[in-house]
Structure 1
Amino acid sequence: MLNASEAVISDTKTEIIEFNSAYRRDIQKVIDSLRTSPDIEAVRRSKQEIKISISGFKQQISAVQREISQLDNALQGLGKSSSDGQADSTSALSELVALKQKKELELAELRLLLMTSEEVIDQLDSYIEREQKENLYYRDIPLWQIISSHEDEEIGTLEKPASVPSNSTGTMLFLALLTAAFLIFSRLQQTRAFITSKITRSNTIYLLTSLLYRRSMLFNGYLGAICVLIIFISLLLPIFSRYHLVVLTALFLFYCTVINLLLETVIPRFIPDTDENLEQIAKQKSGLTLYSFSIISALNIVGSSSLFYHFFQGSVRHSIQSVLLLIWLISLFFLTLYVCKIYIPAYLKQSKLTAIISLLILFCLELFGYRNLVDHIIATIGYTFSILAVSLILYDAVDIIVAVIKISRDKFLDFLDITKVEASRSLNTHKILRIGLKAFIIIGAVVLILTQWGITNADNERLREFFFNGFQISGFTIAPARIVLALLVFVLGWPTIEYIKKIIDREWLQSANISESSQDTFLTLSGYVGFAVLLIIVLGLAGIKLTGLTVIIGALSVGIGFGLQNIVNNFISGLILMFERPIKKGDWIQVGATEGYVKKISIRSTIIQTFDRSDVIVPNSELISNQVTNMMLDDVRGRLRISVGVAYGSDTELVQQLLYDVGRSHEQVITDGSAPEPRVYFQAFGDSSLNFDLLCHLKDIDFKIIVRSALHLAIDKAFREHGIEIPFPQRDIHVKKKQELSSQGTDK
């Protein structure tokens, strides 16, 4: 059997070595191809293929590790059997040992392949970064030589591809859909009224909607037609690519209009919402500045498009692009001055000097042939503005989204005939949701802007890897994306549990033959079970494995042994109160010096509302360990004692009969024989009165104070009618003269 096991390991080793050799040859081909200066896109494709292989290796490593762990458990079980001398156990043990060695060899080879692939990925990233830098800082023919040259072929041979961001169809499609959506919303009266009533005038959603609404129907029709055309071009680009002039014209009109709308929306965004500020903006006469910048920016975008090459080539195209760049720099200068006049008028001169120096540097770089660097900076500025504008619109749209969610929730609850959760008992989930969405938009905008401003492709992937896969701390994997998703589920799940409790209470518990205290107990326990399930789901979404919580649970056990004894004691006491139910919600109880009604029983404490409407929070452990008087434990009936004194000389039999009649006359006094009849006792001869007690049993002890007051009034009325006096305390005072006092002293 041992020879057979060695043969299995040998065959496995041969298969792994063959696969390893073939994969290494493919990897070596990729590395050798870097010496021939391949295209960056080809290197990225090779890198993507290797990343797919890395993902497969990681999955295989995890699977093999699980198999080895299972084999270890099986070997431990068979090790005990083989010690008893059983032959079958020894044979199975040898096979498992051979299989484990096979898996360990496979695991080692997979780790080696993974390590090799990751090293190749680093080499490819270094090559891409190096090539991008060379293209970025590549010096082309100076501008004066291009203008004086008439040979297009000579110019074309000296060009290198620039590493500027390209105008993707996805960006174009997104902007067209967003613009079309706002155009539709601005024409819907209900939507426009809802937007204007829920947000301030400085909100970009309000500004853009109002701006589109104030424009003429002709402009809105033109903008809608352009958006539809851009959507079709984005979706059917291979078909429209044959119509170069149509596509370029549509792109120019679209970008010119969209840039102008964004400028008119974003610039007033951070100005305080006052009439004086709005008048100040109106006085700036911004129409010419904004329109000229929008037109020149649109021309530059169209001029950098590959479709533009079909009309102009060589020195002519370079000359046109340089002239457009110079005009764009001038328009950018005036736009900067316009913005500075609005926000920082005190630093206008410094801003003007800074803008002139920056624009002169860009123009000099273009003049001396650093065209790729200038194109990269200008394109990055444009993309940064677009990202900030769109992110600002999405940021302000969060308020509208949260308002819509809140209104939809209220309508849904009204449809189900469910009352909203009290504000004191529910989390302010809308604020949490609003903060979370805005933070997510800010983080996304920062990442996109960093990507445009020189962050390398490798750094971008590391950032994406960090955001989605996270990092590990003491065996715990912390992924920001998973945490954001877990928080979103928590924010939505918390109020959902409250609403489910409301539905259960209304649809099932109230119709069932269950007491109110039992309903409260069931709802409380079901709420805690729901929160526990929600916590497990949130931890799972956050990537925290429950098996990894053993360390935390161990630390908590130590804390429970020292500092958390009272909390655990109150928790266990709360469970005892809910299941044993010595007190219930609405019971009239007395704990020490506290007397009142049980308002709420929770896991940690119980709230008692006194007769003065004060809420007293009593730990549950005190209700279990101390004496508690419950007036309404098993029976709401109770006895009322009323003590009264009459003057000496009164007819005691008449007094006794009057008290008896008054006791029987009240509707809350039990007279049907289910409890003792009202009784009157002559208790004592007091210092100033003859003392009587009226004892009667009430149907509901909760009305004790009301019944006592009513009986007092009835007794006073009956005594007045029959001339029976209720005396004041009486004292006899004997006054002696001074002579008598002195004579008494002499006698002594």
Structure 2
Amino acid sequence: MIHRTDILWINNWNILNKKHIFSYLSLLGTCLVILTFPRLAYASSTPVSQTSTVLQSIHQDLSKNVDLQQLLYWQKTVDALSHNAHQCITEKSGNLSQIDKSLGILGSATAGEPKNLSTLRLKLQGEEKNLSGELATCKVLAIASADLAQKIHQKQEALHAAMLLQRDHNLWQQALALQSVPVSTWVGEREFWLMQNGQSIFAQRSLQISFGVGVVVFALSLLLRAPLARKIHRQHPPPVAKNKFYHYVPLLAGISTSAAITALTNTLSPLIMLLLVTWGGYAFTAMFLALALSPTGVLSQHFDWPPQTLRSTLRRLRSIATLAAFGLAWLVMAPNDPLSLAHQDFFYSVYHLTLLGAVFWLIWRAGAHGPFHIYPLLRALTLLALTVTAAFTILGYRNLSNYLFFGLLMSLLAFGIGLFFSWELTDFWSRPPQPSSHWQRFLRRRLKLKNDQPLPWIAWLSTITHSFVWLGIAAFILYAWGLTHAGFTLLWKYFITGFAIGNFHIQPFRWAIAILLLILLFNINTVIQQYLANHSRIIGHMESGARHSVLSIVRYTGFIIAILIALSTAGVALHNFAIIAGALSVGIGFGLQNIVNNFVSGLILLLERPIRVGDWIQVGTTQGYVQKMSIRYTLILTFDRTEVFVPNSELIAGQVTNWMYTNSVLRLMIPFNIAHDADISLVKEILVAEGQKHPDVLQDDPRGIPPTALLLDVNENALQFYLRVYLDDCNKSFNVQTDLRASVVESLLRHNVVLAHQQQDVHIMPKQILPMEGKLAQPTGGR
């Protein structure tokens, strides 16, 4: 029973449902907007008016004479403002998107809607209008900052070009300028190098003590060098290369001791520092050069050079290293030198020419030998660049000369170091297994490998380490040629965020991760195959052909999965494979039919398995064992050890004889031709007896019939007997036939049974001889 109040409530609900349903839904939408988007906050990190003022000020000052330092400061400022402008664009765009969603939820204005709903809609529309204006302003600032950054870059390039092409005094003028140096400057120069604390540096007792201690350390190291070397190498004399390495250890120890004592006693004058750094650099570099360039060193394994050439190259490299150490020490002390920088140009030019000449002579002599002689163009360009640098030094283009000098020498140094480390890594990864190697023993124990088994992933590890070495060398060369921190930051940005080529966006970082992931998945796939082949109980009970099919399917499935995962990681949309499939269909129609046919045939062979690894088959005129089955071809090993690659399509479309498909039992029918007068019963007994004696012939086996002698033909030449036997292994066919033929022939001869030979009887019938036309020629006279 329904109460009256209930009826009234229902009637009121019907009225509301007819007149005010949209108002209630609008209120619900308002609550949803307020709950979902509680606050729309938007504020730029830098005020728009301030950003515009800064950009205008930089643009006005850019037309004035400015230096590189000021341009660098402006560039950093503009980059910061551009970053803020792009942040503003992102922020405003996000806020506009939220407001659009809110307005979409509220819908359009309708008659009779609540007042607060209209107020909220008007407020959001006003905020949308303001945000649109601010977004347009941010976009204008972003465009202006980008244009100003380009102008600053052009100004920097112009200033760099002007500085590099600035010409100072040439070498002769620099030498003449030294004559104008006052005597007081030369006195100060002598005191700078030879005096310290008002007295001669050689008269200071602390300096004498430091050099005396250095000589003592040098003598002790010289005496202990050989015993320590033998102890390090486990009581065995070190190789020649390492012996040369230890040759410079005493000199380096003595120099290091003297340098430490002079620094502690505050007697490290400029001249002493110059001498210690030069000799220390000589000892340090000569030590490693001897290790690399000795007749048994690392480089001798890659250079087919005679010992005399190696020694001369070692001497030149030591000279260059000594000059480099001297120049580095001199560059550190140059600002404190009383001689002005303008007057030091002559000495710098002479130093440049000396070092360039040493490098030129080294490349000229070393480039004539392998492996550098196969790159004559590279050698010629390097020598030309060194010659041009020397010419600029002589003509007085100091800035350009310094730029080329530093870039060339650092590039050659980096290239040499890269080759050295690359060859060292090649020798390290290709080194045969050694039980004494700790890391190899650790890996073998973890991977459960034998000493004669190669370590897995060696090729991939070698490739990765070589890549890191040459990437570091490339970065060092770019730095040597003037690539700044901002340039490296830009390269890193492109490496991480990527760049666009047409409609295709490439992210090198994701591609690098994809390549590493592909390598990892490939190796995991290989490990899974090895585990299934050697340790798994899943396929251990299968025959060899079935195991090979399973492993092939696992290999190709893992290969496809690894490629798909790597492409997805690299950012390639997998739905684009429809386009690739369309392109492949066109390619198949124009010339890839055979490849696809072999591929599909390989899948059919792996799944249906009419042919297995180890089967003896015949395809056309080719007979042999199936040694390998791949997705494209099948490898057959014939009796003469010839490997024949048969396309899989021929195994599917053509007639194939598989002698071992269901079993390996083989029937042999060995023929023997016996003379007509032989005893047939005796011959049959001999054949059966010899068949029963052979150990490889089936006797009482349900898979075959015992040896049987059959007389299957009688012709004009012989009685043709056949010895029928069955073998349990068709691989023994030729050997069994040889044994049975030999034993049967010997037994027949012992029993005086004659083997038949092909014969022909000729019968002459005198009555049917036809007369000859003419007379026979008479013999001529004479003897």
Q: TM-score, normalised by structure 1?
A: 0.66
Could you say which residue in structure 2 is the equivalent of 1:657?
685
1:328 aligns with 2:348: yes
Question: In the alignment, which residue of structure 2 is the partner of 1:358?
Answer: 392
Superposition pairs of residues 629-708 of structure 1, within 5 angstroms: 629-675=657-703, 676-708=705-737
CA distance, structure 1, for counterparts of residue 97 and residue 444 of structure 2: 48
The 1:299–1:744 alpha-carbon spacing in structure 2 relative to 1, beyond 3 Å, is closer
Q: Do the aligned partners of 1:286 and 1:338 also contact (CA within 8 Å) in 2?
A: no
Deviation at 1:418, TM superposition (A): 5.9
Indicate the larger mover: 728-737 or 54-63: 54-63
CA distances 1:203-232 after superposition (whole Å, capped 9, x unpaired): xxx8xx8875331424146459989x99xx
Structure 1 CA distance, aligned partners of 2:78 and 2:432? 47
Residue 613 (structure 1) aligns with? 641
Change beyond 3 A, Cα 1:245–1:333: same
Alpha-carbon offset, residue 59 of structure 1: 8.4
Q: Is the 8 A contact 2:422 2:466 kept in 1?
A: no
Query: What's the CA shift string for 1:40-65, capped at 9, x where partnerless?
Result: 66545545645765886898899999
SS of 2:667's equivalent in the other structure is strand
2:250 to 203, 214, 217: 217
Determine the C-alpha separation between the residues in 2 that align with 1:500 and 1:511. 13
Structure 1, 482-491 or 618-627: larger mean CA deviation: 482-491
1:123 to 128, 143, 148: 148
Q: Which residue of 2 aligns with 1:235?
A: none
- Going from structure 1 to structure 2, the CA distance change for 1:558 and 1:694 (only over 3 Å counts) comes to same
Q: CA deviation at 1:745?
A: 10
Q: Is the 8 A contact 1:212 1:220 kept in 2?
A: no
CA shift, 1:590, in A, is 1.4
The match for 1:404 is 428
Letter in 1 for 2:353: F
Q: Partners of 1:255 and 1:26 in 2: how far apart? A: 55
CA distance in 1, matches of 2:91, 2:625: 64
Supply the distance in 2 between the matched residues of 1:548 and 1:686 (Cα, whole angstroms).
Answer: 75
Compared CA separation, residues 585 and 360, structure 1 to 2 (3 A): closer
3-state secondary structure, aligned to 2:530: helix
- Residues 553 and 273 of structure 1: is their aligned pair in 2 closer, same or farther, counting only changes over 3 Å? same
Contact 2:45 2:84 in 1 (8 A): no
Structure 1's 579 and 321: CA in aligned 2 closer, same or farther, altered over 3 A?
Answer: same
What pairs with 1:186-225 in structure 2 (closer than 5 Å)?
Answer: 212-220=245-253, 222-223=255-256
* Aligned partner of 2:418 among 394, 410, 430: 394
- Within 2, Cα distance between the matches of 1:496 and 1:210? 44
Output one character per residue of 1:235-254: Cα deviation in whole Å (capped at 9) or x when no partner: xxxxx9xx998999989955
**Kept in 1: contact 2:255–2:280 (CA 8 A):** no
In 1, distance between residues paired with 2:636 and 2:519?
31
Give the whole-Å Cα distance in 2 for the aligned partners of 1:128 and 1:646.
105
Q: What is the distance in 2 between the residues matched to 1:462 and 1:535? A: 30
Whole-angstrom distance in 2 between the partners of 1:252 and 1:50: 51
What one-letter code is carried by the residue in structure 1 that aligns with 2:309? N
Q: 1:470 to 1:549 in 2, by over 3 A?
A: farther
The structure with more helix, counted as a fraction of residues: 1
1:337 paired to 2:357 = yes
Question: How many Å separate the matches in 1 of 2:522 and 2:133?
Answer: 46
Q: Is 1:515 matched with 2:543?
A: yes
Counterpart in the other structure of 1:277: 309
Query: Per-residue deviation at 1:696?
Result: 1.6
Counterpart CA distance in 1 for 2:133 and 2:448 is: 60
Look up the match of 1:598.
Answer: 626
Is the contact between residue 470 and residue 477 of structure 1 (CA under 8 Å) also seen in structure 2?
A: yes
Q: 1:505 to 1:688 in 2, by over 3 A?
A: same
User: What is the aligned-residue identity percentage?
Assistant: 22
Which of 747, 764, 769 is equivalent to 1:718? 747
Higher mean C-alpha deviation, range 103-112 or range 329-338 = 103-112
Any residues of structure 2 matched to 1:280-679 within 5 Å, and which? 291=322, 294-303=325-334, 319-344=339-364, 358-362=392-396, 374=399, 378=402, 381-382=405-406, 385-407=409-431, 411=440, 412=443, 416-417=448-449, 436=467, 440=471, 443-451=474-482, 465-466=493-494, 469-478=497-506, 497-498=525-526, 501-508=529-536, 512-540=540-568, 542-675=570-703, 676-679=705-708
Q: What stretches of structure 2 of length at least 5 have no aligned partner?
A: 1-21, 106-123, 185-225, 294-298, 369-379, 435-439, 775-783
Return the alpha-carbon distance in structure 2 between the equivalents of residues 251 and 609 of structure 1.
Answer: 73
The change in CA–CA distance for 1:705 and 1:502 in structure 2 (over 3 A counts) is same
CA drift at 1:127: 3.3
Q: Which has the larger radius of gyration?
A: 2
CA contact (8 A) 2:707 2:726 kept: yes
Give the distance between the partners of 1:719 and 1:57, measured in 2 at CA. Answer: 108
Q: Is the 8 A contact 1:588 1:631 kept in 2?
A: yes
* TM-score under structure 2 length normalisation: 0.64
| Alignment check: 8 A CA contact 1:482 1:543 kept | yes
Q: Contact 1:645–1:690 at 8 Å: present in 2 too?
A: yes
Residues of 2 paired with 1:550 and 1:57: CA distance? 39
Against the structure 1 CA distance between its residues 499 and 641, is the aligned structure 2 distance closer, same or farther, given a 3 Å change threshold? same
Shift of the alpha carbon at 1:683? Answer: 0.9
* Secondary structure of residue in 1 paired with 2:430: helix
Classify the secondary structure of the residue corresponding to 1:599. strand
Residue 569 of structure 1: how far off its partner (Å): 1.8
After superposition, the Cα gap between the structure-2 partners of 1:218 and 1:255, relative to the gap in structure 1 and judged at 3 Å, is: closer
Alignment CA distance shift 1:284-1:381 (3 Å) = closer
Match of 2:52 in 1: 28
Q: CA deviation at 1:690?
A: 0.9
Secondary structure of 1:508's match? coil
**In structure 2, how many angstroms separate the alpha carbons of the residues matched to 1:395 and 1:121?**
42
Say if 1:501 and 1:303 are closer, same or farther in 2 by CA, change over 3 A.
farther
Task: Note the C-alpha offset of 1:398.
Answer: 1.3
Equivalent AA in structure 2 for residue 277 of structure 1: T
The CA deviation at 1:405 is 2.9
Using a 3 Å threshold, how does the CA distance of structure 1 residues 120 and 550 change in structure 2: closer, same or farther?
farther
Aligned counterpart, 2:187: none
- Secondary structure at the residue paired with 1:648? coil
Q: How many residues align?
A: 634
Contact 1:589 1:628 (8 Å CA) reproduced: yes
Letter in 1 for 2:55: I
Distance between the aligned counterparts of 2:89 and 2:245, measured in 1?
53
2-structure distance, mates of 1:399, 1:255 = 29
In structure 2, distance between residues paired with 1:54 and 1:255: 53
Q: In structure 1, what is the Cα distance between the partners aligned to 2:771 and 2:306?
A: 99
> Of the two structures, which has the highest relative contact order with CA contacts closer than 8 Å and spacing of 6 or more?
1
531-540 or 257-266, which deviates more: 257-266
Q: Is the CA contact (8 Å cut-off) linking 1:402 and 1:434 kept in structure 2?
A: no
Asked whether the 8 Å contact 2:285–2:318 carries over to 1, the reply is: no
**1:19 paired residue number:** 43
Cα 1:439–1:294 shift into 2, 3 Å = closer
| 1:448 shift after superposition | 2.5
Shift of 1:601: 0.8
Distance of 1:266 and 1:110 partners within structure 2: 63
Amino acid in the other structure paired with 1:120 = S
Q: Distance in 2 between matches of 1:120 and 1:664?
A: 102
* Cα distance, 1:698 vs structure 2: 1.1
What amino acid is aligned across from residue 409 of structure 2 in structure 1? F
For residues 342 and 699 of structure 1, do their structure 2 counterparts lie closer, same or farther at Cα, with a shift above 3 Å needed? closer
The range that moved more, 491-500 or 118-127, is 491-500
Distance 1:65 1:386, change over 3 A: farther
Q: Aligned-pair distance for 1:727? A: 1.1
Q: 1:433 Cα deviation (Å)?
A: 6.1
For structure 1, the 5+ residue unaligned runs are: 76-98, 151-185, 231-239, 305-311, 366-373
